[in-house]
DNA sequence: TCATGTCAAGGCGTC
DNA sequence: GACGCCTTGACATGA
């Protein structure tokens, strides 16, 4: 079992997703930005190894406009050695990585243009994993897409598009149950038609389900992962932020809830991505809980637990945000 | 230097 | 049909 967090490390003074506006595009700027992003990614991975955090979601912004026609810079060849070195580091330390294209990737859109752009984005993100030399257990995580008023047709359109994807993308693709539109049951239908594993999100399942108890849902999702092709089941973990709208992720891990979740998980193995606002701070605490249960290896030699501010369990504990002037209506802009 | 507006990309819900 | 929201950091710009 590996514990991870997505994209951003708040303890380091760098980011692996520096980008820029389309209007200021230049090949030189792409080259400088990718170099800086990859250097930061390497630092984050080294931090993670040093702290026993062996699961990480790589930012999809490593290459600015990676799938946009404006980007004609040959970043694949220019940075081949850097990608390979990062992949070697990941493999040497037994890490697991994933990527999560954002909401603009919609494979079941009725618009052919949107579908083509979505495929281009998946090809771009998958090619980074290919350049790293990582096998098909490194995944591309997406949602099923839009509903468009007809669930059956929406799912069928996804299945039809899936069969047109490059094989290199197909083997990396995993589909996550979401919190509003497509439940675990919808993802199971998709799996039956495509073989795509289900990336189970416990919090989304709490928001949208058909009455399946958590333990049963976990077993259904785990059964969609092929042991050699896909590896250990990946999943997202989060919980409801107290006092906030339904579906809002919590700011910092609630340890009692996490222990309860591990009880539901039982003997199932899973690599768990914490979708929690304070990133590696919660990941450290989750690892501490797992070590107490002997579910993860002991901390590396020389490891000292970082100190973080007290857990923020509700928004009232957050520092007050500076008031911003309300947006003007579009007509006045 | 600081504050604020805005950013490639989609879709749902509300009014 | 228009708009706000999702989620979020940080780039870009103007004061």
Return the sign of the alpha-carbon dihedral for residues A63, A68, A73, A79. positive
pTM of this prediction? 0.90
| Beta carbons within 8 Å of A121's beta carbon, 6+ residues apart | A60, A66, A67, A101, A104, A105
In strand C, the nucleotides that come within 7 Å of a protein beta carbon are 2-4, 6-13
Name the one residue in this structure whose structure tokens are 């955090």: A53
Tokens representing residue A147 in the block: 């509903």
Lowest-confidence range among A26-35, A71-80, A321-330? A321-330
Give the Cα separation of A173 and A92 in Å (integer): 24
> Is A24 near strand C, with its CB below 7 A from some atom of it?
yes
Instruction: State pLDDT tens for residues A223-281.
Output: 999 999 999 999 999 988 877 777 888 888 999 999 999 999 999 999 999 998 888 98
CA A246 to chain centre: 21
Give the per-residue pLDDT at A36.
92
Per-residue pLDDT, averaged over A123-144, amounts to 96
Instruction: State pLDDT tens for residues A188-211.
Output: 999 999 999 999 999 999 989 999
Instruction: State pLDDT tens for residues A143-164.
Output: 999 999 899 999 999 999 999 9
Give the per-residue pLDDT at A306.
66
Who touches strand B, with Cβ under 7 Å? A 21-23, 60-61, 64-68, 102-104, 106, 109-111, 114, 117, 121, 145-148, 180-181, 322, 324-325, 327-328, 333
A48: Cα within 13 Å, side-chain hemisphere: 31
Name the one residue in this structure whose structure tokens are 């003007």: A328
Give the Cα separation of A104 and A118 in Å (integer): 7
Contact A162, A194 (CB under 8 A): yes
> Is A240 near strand C, with its CB below 7 A from some atom of it?
no
> Quick one: which residue's CA is nearest to B11's C1'?
A146
Give the per-residue pLDDT at A311.
38
pLDDT above 70 for A333: no
Tokens representing residue A188 in the block: 């199971």
């Amino acid at each position: 079992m590996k514990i991870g967090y997505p994209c951003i490390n708040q303890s380091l003074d760098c980011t692996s997703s520096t980008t820029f506006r389309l209007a200021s595009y230049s090949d030189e700027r792409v080259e400088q930005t990718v170099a800086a992003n990859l250097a930061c990614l390497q630092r984050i991975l080294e931090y993670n190894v040093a702290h026993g955090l062996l699961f990480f979601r790589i930012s999809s912004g490593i290459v600015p406009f990676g799938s946009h026609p404006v980007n004609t810079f040959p970043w694949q060849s220019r940075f081949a050695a850097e990608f390979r070195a990062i992949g070697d580091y990941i493999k040497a330390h037994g890490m697991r990585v994933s990527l999560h294209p954002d909401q603009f990737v919609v494979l079941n859109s009725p618009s052919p243009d949107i579908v083509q752009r979505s495929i281009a984005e998946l090809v771009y993100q998958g090619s980074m994993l290919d350049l790293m030399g990582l096998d098909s257990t490194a995944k591309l995580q997406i949602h099923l897409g839009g509903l468009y008023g007809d669930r059956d047709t929406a799912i069928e359109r996804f299945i039809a598009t899936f069969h047109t994807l490059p094989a290199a993308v197909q083997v990396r693709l995993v589909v996550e149950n979401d919190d509003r539109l497509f439940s675990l049951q919808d993802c199971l239908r998709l799996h039956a038609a495509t073989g795509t594993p289900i990336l189970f999100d416990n919090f989304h399942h709490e928001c949208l389900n058909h009455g399946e108890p958590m333990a049963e849902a976990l077993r259904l999702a785990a059964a969609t992962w092929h042991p050699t092709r896909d590896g250990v089941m990946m999943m997202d973990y989060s919980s409801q932020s107290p006092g906030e709208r339904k579906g809002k992720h919590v700011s910092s891990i609630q340890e009692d809830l996490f222990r309860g979740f591990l009880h539901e998980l039982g003997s199932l193995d899973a690599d768990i991505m914490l979708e929690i606002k304070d990133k590696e701070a919660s990941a450290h605490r989750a690892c501490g809980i797992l070590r107490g249960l002997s579910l993860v290896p002991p901390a590396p030699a020389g490891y000292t637990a970082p100190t973080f501010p007290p857990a923020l369990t509700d928004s009232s504990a957050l520092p007050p945000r500076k008031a911003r002037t309300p947006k003007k209506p579009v007509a006045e802009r």
